[in-house]
Each structure stands twice: as C-alpha cells, then as structure tokens.
Structure 1
Amino acid sequence: MPSPVPVAQSTVKHTPLEDAQGLATGVVMCTMGLVILTHLGLITGQTAGLAVVISYLTGMSFGLIFFLVNIPFYLFAIKAMGWEFTLKSMACVAALSLGTELVPLGFAIERLDPVLGTIMFGVVTGIGLLAIFRHKASLGGLGVVAIWIQDTFGVRAGYIQLGFDAVLFAVAAFLFPLSVVMYSLLGAVVLNGLIAFNHRRDWYIPR
C-alpha cells in the first residue's frame, strides 16, 4: 500500500470541474446508500438519521425533512467554515434531497439481506462522504460541526459522529424494534469507522 502523501505535497488546489465531479460522485453514492437503508426500513445517524426517524414517524418525505433540518447548521457553517464550504454543502444537501426522491423511481431492490445491506450502506455512504469532505463540503448538520472540531482540535470527525449516533440510537430503541436498532447501529459503526480511519488532514488537504 502506498505511503500517505506528505502534507507539503498534498495541499493541492481543486479546479471547479474537479470539485463538481467529486461532489457529484459523493452525492450519488450517499443517495444510493440511503436508498438501500430506507428499503430495509432501517435508520442512520447524524442529521440524516434524524430526518429518517421523523420521516418514518410522520410519513413525510425524507428529502424535504432532510433539507429543512439542515438549515440552522448553515449559519454555523458560514461563520466557522466560510462561504465556499457552506455553498458547496447546501448544493450537496439539495442534490441528495432530490436524489432520494428520484432514484427509487428507476431503481428497485427485489431482495437484500439486512446484514449485507447494512454493510453496503455503511461502505457506500462512507466513501461518498469522503469524496464530499475532500472537496471541501459536507452533507450539512453534524458533519459541519464534526469537520470543524477535527480541523480545530484534531479530534477525528468519525469519532464525533459515532458518539452522536450512539445517543440517537439510544432514543430510537424506544421507538423502533430492537432488530431495527441493532442493524442500524452496525451500519453506523461501518460508516463512521470508515470515515475515522480514512479522513485525515495530514494525508489529504484540499484548499
């Protein structure tokens, strides 16, 4: 396996086209991950998890709820991360919200084992988030706060998100069957573990 790129050599400037393809790829992968997750009737963590829970309980569109719950975090993002990060994140959130509504119209899952599906969700969504993070954006919500804490204090974003997810799943245990919570927790561990191990600013620092 190649050694990590030294910091001095990794401070590259992405072109607009590189940003566009990187963010688009990340959003598509995250969209597919959420389609798999909701097909299984499971939940996830962070802001998306909160939106999924509200969607299940109210019957409202996940895409609409996800877009709305992210709005307060944009104010924090503008101050802490700057306009570029915020605008890119807003675009990603809007695209994901739309994608989760459109993809099921052309993509159907006939059979999927819950364990396999949960692992697929964690890996696919984790890789998608890495692509989005590395092009100076996020999917809003807790991801904004987690990236800021990592950049400011050096605490891995994946660990921060996993801690929040533990609280969310503890609450979900009172609302959903235990099997749903346990499968969902597996997905959160895979997702956040992948981010914690692979999202490091000393390996890759987009400017």
Structure 2
Amino acid sequence: MKKQSLLIIMGCLLVALGIKVLTSSELVIGGTAGMGMILQHLTPFSFGTLFFFINIPFYFLSIIQLGLPFTIKSFISVTILSIMSEALDHVFTFTIPFPIISSLTGGVLIGFGLILLFRCGSSLGGVNMLCVYLDKHYGVNPGKTILATDVIIVGSAFFIVGLEKVLYSIVAILVMSRILGRYHKTAPLEKNNKKLLENENSSYETFSSETKSS
C-alpha cells in the first residue's frame, strides 16, 4: 500500500510537470486536463481549481461503471494533481521558447505519469469514465469517443492560442498516446481499463496515419 501511494504521488507529479511544460508554451492536452488548461485562459481561476471541479460530475459515472475502489483512487489522484499544480504555479514560472520541445517533453511526462497511475488502478478521471458509460449503455466505441472529445477540446483552443500551437498540442497527444500504447502491452491493467486504453491508442494511431497521408 505504501509503495502504491508513492507511485500515485510520483505519477501525479510527472503529469503536473508535463502540464506545466505544456502551458509554458500555451499548449494544451485532451480530456478534462485540456478543459482546465483552456478555461484558465478565460476565467480568473487556476488550472488546479478548474481541474478539480470539472472532474466532480464524472465520479458518479465511475462509481456505477468502474466501482468504488477505482473511483476513490481516481479522486485522490485528481486531488493530488490539483494541489501539485497549484504548488508548481506558486513555486516557479518559466517559458520554453520552442513549442516543439514543450510538446515532446510534456507528452512524455504525462504519458509516463499516467502509466504509474494505471499500474496502481487509478486514473485522472474525466472523459475515460464517460467513455466507459457510453460504451456500456449505448455501444459507443470508447476509442472514438476519446478521439472525438480530444479533437474538440484541443480544436477549441484554436480561438485562444492559434493554429500553430494547436498542431503542437496534437503532437503532444500523439506522443502521450504512443507511450501508453507501448505500456498496455506489458503492464497488468484491469480488464475494462485495458480495453479502453487499447481503443484509445488505436484511434490515435489511425488519426496520426490519416494526418500524415493528407
């Protein structure tokens, strides 16, 4: 239990650092984290505060679809990430002049942070929980749902940060997805989470190939 707690803390720290790196170049990521990153440009609230409250409605779906233990761990992870993000904002501020460096570094940090959380049977809530619900009740493919929501979230950032940074943000998402894709082949995930992760990675790879062909 102690080792698992340390892994969750370490995973949240990596994700918090990844988000800090991305926001230093005004880049965004998908999911509820992306919503928080966008809304912090439009509201007086910080990312940590927005991320915490955005995730609250999804916990009800998680309890029903993924069980109480998973929901509790996810709630703890979301809370830790929110606190760490607030702390990082107060401790230091920096700017990375080259968005591609932020994109690659942020994607790697978030990807490995999520790996640690998944290994502990936890997550950062949000869209993944919604995807499981839509899949079970309406037969909507989770991978397509994740891809669609991430494209909408990142695409909406166009009106705030511009096309160039949206493209760099997509690179970050693809890097993160690639890391998660390599992870699910070897790591012991729970059945539902493994299926969701496989679908997510498959959709991103399809999106990547379509982008290159066009």
Same fold (TM over 0.5): yes
Is the CA contact (8 Å cut-off) linking 2:121 and 2:189 kept in structure 1? no
The match for 1:42 is: 27
The number of equivalent residue pairs is: 189
Is 2:46 the counterpart of 1:76?
no
> Which deviations, in whole Å up to 9, do the C-alpha atoms of 1:27-71 show, x marking residues without a partner?
010010011111111111111101111111113111111111100
Structure 2 unpaired stretches of 5+? 192-214
Q: Distance in 2 between matches of 1:66 and 1:49?
A: 9
TM-score under structure 2 normalisation?
0.77
- After TM superposition, list the pairs within 5 Å mapping 1:7-46 onto structure 2: 16-46=1-31
TM-score under structure 1 normalisation?
0.80
The match for 2:204 is: none
- After TM superposition, list the pairs within 5 Å mapping 1:183-194 onto structure 2: 183-194=168-179
How big is the shift at 1:106? 3.0
Is 2:86 the counterpart of 1:105?
no
Is the CA contact (8 Å cut-off) linking 1:134 and 1:206 kept in structure 2? no
Instruction: Give the helix-richer structure, 1 or 2.
Output: 2
Is 2:189 the counterpart of 1:205?
yes
Q: Distance in 2 between matches of 1:128 and 1:183?
A: 20
> Which deviations, in whole Å up to 9, do the C-alpha atoms of 1:119-152 show, x marking residues without a partner?
000011001001101111110101334577899x
Q: 1:110 to 1:141 in 2, by over 3 A?
A: closer
Question: Pairwise CA RMSD of aligned residues?
Answer: 2.7
Amino acid at match of 2:25: L
Is the CA contact (8 Å cut-off) linking 1:161 and 1:192 kept in structure 2? no
Q: Distance in 2 between matches of 1:196 and 1:77?
A: 23
Is the CA contact (8 Å cut-off) linking 1:156 and 1:196 kept in structure 2? no
Q: 1:169 to 1:99 in 2, by over 3 A?
A: same
Q: Distance in 1 between matches of 2:74 and 2:12?
A: 10
The match for 1:12 is: none
Which structure has more relative contact order (CA 8 Å, sep 6+)? It is 1
Q: Which residue of 44, 58, 73 maps to 1:59? A: 44
The match for 1:195 is: 180
The percent identity for this pair of structures is: 29
